[in-house]
Structure 1
Amino acid sequence: MSVNREVHPVELVDDAGRSIGTCSVAEAHTLPGRHHRAYSVLLLGPDGVLLQRRAGVKTRFPLRWSNTTCGHPAPGGDLPDEAATRLAEEMGLTGIPLREVGEFDYRAEDAATNRVEDEHDHVLVGVVDTAPAPTPDPSEVAEWRWVPLAELRADLAARPDEYTPWLGGVLRLAAQAAADTH
C-alpha cells in the first residue's frame, strides 16, 4: 500500500545541521526550498554497490538511478532505526546493520518536476557478505542492480543526468569509510 510521504514532517536545519523547526516534505521541496535533514543508505557487497532506479511517480528526480534508499527522519527520530525501517519498506531488506559515515549538504533543482532538494544528508552504509536480491515496493523503485564501484563512478561521470544529484556525495563518503576500515 502506497503512503503519501509528502505530508510527513521533516526537520528543518541551519547551515550547521542544528534543528530550527519543522514543515511537511512537500513544503520543504517546493521552490525555493527549505534546508532540512535527510539520510541516504548505501549497501556495499561483493558485487559492488546496490543502486535503485527511482519510480516514475517520485516527485523529485523520478526514473534516475540512486543509492540503495533514502528518506527523511521524523523530527527527533532515531536516524539508524528510521533508515533501517525505510530500507525494509522500500527495498524489502531487513537485518542489515547500518552505520553513519558522514554528512554533507547539497541543493539541486529538478526542472522536470519543478521541485528542489535542499538537504543536510546523513550517509549510512551497510556491508553485506553476499549480495541480497531486494523485493522493492514498485511505487518507490522501478528497478535495481548491483554495480561495481569503479563502473559506477565512470558512468556517473559520463552520464550524470542518469543519476540523482546527491549520489556523488553519498559515494564519496561511503568509499572513504570503506577505505578507512581496510
Structure 2
Amino acid sequence: MLSREADLVELVDDHGTVTGSATVLDAHESPGLLHRAFSVFLREESGRVLLQQRAAAKTRFPLRWGNTCCGHPRPGEDLTTAAGKRLAEELGVEPVPFTEVGVYVYFAEDPVTGRVEREYDHVLLGAVPAGLEFRPDPAEVARLRWITVDDLLRDVQAAPEAYAPWLGGVTERLASHLLAAPEGPGGR
C-alpha cells in the first residue's frame, strides 16, 4: 500500500467553502483541520449496502467496519472522480455513477492511533451492476459484508466500538435519502 499521508486534501469551512489545502497527515493530526472527504455506499438491487472492515494497516480506525469505501479528493478534484479511483484502489472495481445523498460534518479521535478525523463528508451512493466482482486490496480491506440499511443503523447503535465513528452519521444521511427517493436504483 502506498502511503497517501503526503497527498494534499482540500480544507473547507463549516459550509464547505474551500479555505486552503494541507497534507493528509497534517489534516489528521490533533486537533485536526476540517477538510473535504467522501463516503461511498454501493447498494445492490435488493437494497443491501456493502461494508468493508478496514485493514489493520489503516492509520485511522483500523479493523473497524466502515462504508464501502471512503477517501479525500485532492484540491479541485471532482468528488465522483476521486471516489471512482478509491473504488478501484480498495476494491478492484471500475467506477460506477454516483448520486450525492447528503453531507455529514463530524469530529472523531482514534483512541488507538491518536489521529483525528475532522471532515466535511459527502455521502455518495452507487448501484452495483449485475455480475460485479470485488477484488479487495488486503492492505486496505480486511473483509467485506452486505447488510440492510435498517440492520446497519441498529448494529451501529448497539455496538459503536465495532464501527468507524462516521458510519452512523453517513448511514443516517443515506437512510433519509432512501425514504425520500422514488422507487428505482437510488430509492427503496
Task: Specify the TM-score bucket, using the shorter chain as the normaliser.
Answer: over 0.9
Q: Which residue of 1 aligns with 2:59?
A: 59
Q: Does 1:92 align with 2:92?
A: yes
CA distance in 2, matches of 1:31, 1:49: 32
2:100/2:125 contact within 8 Å kept: yes
Where do 5+ consecutive residues of structure 1 fail to align? none
Measured against aligned partners, the alpha-carbon deviations of 1:137-175 in whole angstroms (never above 9, x if no partner) come to 111101111112222222111101000011111111112
Distance 1:94 1:11 in 2: 25
Taking only the aligned residue pairs, the percentage that are identical comes to 50
Counterpart for residue 5 of structure 2: 6
**Residue 166 of structure 1: aligned partner:** 166
> Deviation digits for residues 52-72 of structure 1, max 9, x if unmatched?
000001010000000000000
What is the rounded CA distance, in whole Å, between the counterparts of 2:182 and 2:128 in structure 1?
14
In the TM superposition, 1:29-178 aligns within 5 A as 29-45=28-44, 46=46, 48-128=48-128, 130=130, 132-178=132-178
State the aligned residue count: 181
Residue 12 of structure 1 deviates from its aligned partner by 0.6
| 2:14 alignment counterpart | 15
Q: Which residue of 1 aligns with 2:186?
A: none
Assess, with a 3 A threshold, how the Cα gap between structure 1 residues 147 and 131 changes in structure 2: closer, same or farther: farther
Q: CA RMSD in A?
A: 1.4
Contact 2:153 2:172 in 1 (8 A): no
TM-score calculated relative to the size of structure 2: 0.91
Partner of 2:27: 28
Shift of 1:129: 5.5
Using structure 1 for the length normalisation, give the TM-score. Answer: 0.94
Which structure 1 residue ranges, 4+ long, deviate > 4 Å from structure 2?
none
3-state secondary structure, aligned to 1:125: strand
| Distance apart, 1:95 and its partner CA | 4.3
Q: 1:131/1:60 Cα in 2 relative to 1: closer, same or farther (>3 Å)?
A: farther
Q: Which amino acid aligns with 2:117?
A: E
